Structure 1
Amino acid sequence: MTDRTLPPGFQLPELRSPVRTIGRHTFDFDHRIAVMAIVNRTPDSFFDQGATFALDRAVEAAVRADEHGADWVDIGGVPFAPGPELPADEEASRVVPVVAALAQQSDVVISVDTFRPEVAAAAIAAGASVINDTTGIHDERLADVVADSDATLVITHSLASPRRPLMRPQYADVAGEVRDFLLERVDLAIARGVPEDRIIVDPGHDLNKNTVQTLEVTRRLGEVVSLGFPVLAAVSNKDFIGESLARPKSERLAGSIAAATACAMLGARIVRMHAVPESVDAMRMLEAILGWRDPVDPVHNL
């Protein structure tokens, strides 16, 4: 039986299905905080600005993330930020070869960041086991693709159409509205055949939200956690960190680790991060504090 007694300040979510088999791994999210690494095959990605756009560099980065302890790797071919539409076949040509190469070299969980059903289908066929849709199932056919597979679906809060701006987003109750949106989209996914034990939710830090709104969603993350699905916190190097600390993207590591740790303490069970070794250490340390894992080398004062 799980010991649900935690120190003050920590929240252990009441998950409907805490034990999840995703790809070739099984996670007990009552005792595990997974680290999702980020690999972008785009020339204009938010953080790395095309550093892994070349296929060989993308595959190398994905394999290295696995070697550094990432639980899974999230591969994207289109930025979330507003911009011109990229044809689906071009998006697929960016992500599918990385998925296929990584699946041959590693058993790490592979997810693909896409809102297009045709790209999702091709990625799943190539070896992806998670579809990370940052548009909240804008195209409902995406749920059909996931339902017809063994893949897991990440449902994210965002309001604008894909790659379209939402200027000056307004919310009467930002955390409550995020929770309600996610519940509505979860119900849609289930109605279209996605089992609830293959659903993860993401409050969408910074996505169609300003910094003050994102900070409030973070403080009130327990309201999203209360839905009963594992929560993904994609906080790494985002503008709410930069604006909170007055730090450029290159100097946001400490803030990112702090934000990820706070989210995990408040019930998030997956953190999406650029700096893999540091993030893995932070989450494994948090698990040790919680008593979920033994120290690797406990010799001090023995």
Structure 2
Amino acid sequence: MITDYNRLSGLHKVAILFSVLGESLAMSLIKGLTRTEVRKIRATIREMGTVSFSVKRRVMEEFYFGFLSEQFQDPEKEEGPIKPFEYFTELNDEQIIALLANEDVPVIAIAMAQLPAEKRMMVLDRMKPDQKGAVLIELGSLQDVPLEAVVEVAGKLREKASYLPKSVEFSRGGAKEIADLIGEMGTDEAERYMQTLQNEDPELFKEVKMFFLTFDDILAVFPDGTLRDLMNSVELDAIAMAVKGVEQEQVDRIISNLPQKKQAMFEPVEGAVAKREVDEARKAIVTQAKQMEKDGAFNLADMLGGGDMIE
């Protein structure tokens, strides 16, 4: 039996690694071996006999931290520790969920320990309460898991990941998507759909309303600072057309939030105009407001959801 780790050659270490992990998994983790080297490893496995557990453990630890024998490394190339779970960085959220689906709790816990905090929460949020509790408990005892088991899990999940569909961006719909769709409609049609939604599904209506912005919402909920930035980013002609038919108090508020030069240049639209022109001007302002939200100027859901706002 081999019991003295210090007398092992590099070839013996790799042979032990292959015997512990299996040839397929070991070769997936150690890249660049030639056919000749693989044949040497196989021959060494047949010749070296039994290896003590303590020696196997030290070999696995050496492998894990990236200190394999110079016989199988380029001494001039500096590399960090081997990272068995590095392929996780190439997976999106949907792929990670699919990868861990139907796995045992210990496997899920080991995999989750490799993820950044926000992705761990994403995985936990998809679990049933009883499974979530079991995984959290398992996460707290991973220090007792043998290194061989961790590497084996990495290899198993790597192989499973190779069969996952390619990364695809797609939407599952939801309140925001409905709001965006209705926002593309004309004013009258959008109002009809929102009214229907309110009658048919009040809860969904509340969710959609948090993302569905109208010109009236801008006047009602935008604080002066946000209103000032918005109106200063659109043409005066559009503002003048958009406020046609709006109460004078609201018009005065908008004008007072414009720079003095623009205030002096503002001219109200006189006489009757087509409703379509007013709707188009208001829609242009709403579109600009949505762009401001995308740029991070404010959070629309906070404003329309009834949360407290501090200016």
What is the TM-score of this pair, normalised by structure 1?
0.20
Larger Rg: 2
- Structure with greater strand percent: 1
What is the TM-score of this pair, normalised by structure 2?
0.20
- Structure with greater helix percent: 2
Q: Which has the higher contact order (CA 8 A, sep 6+)?
A: 1
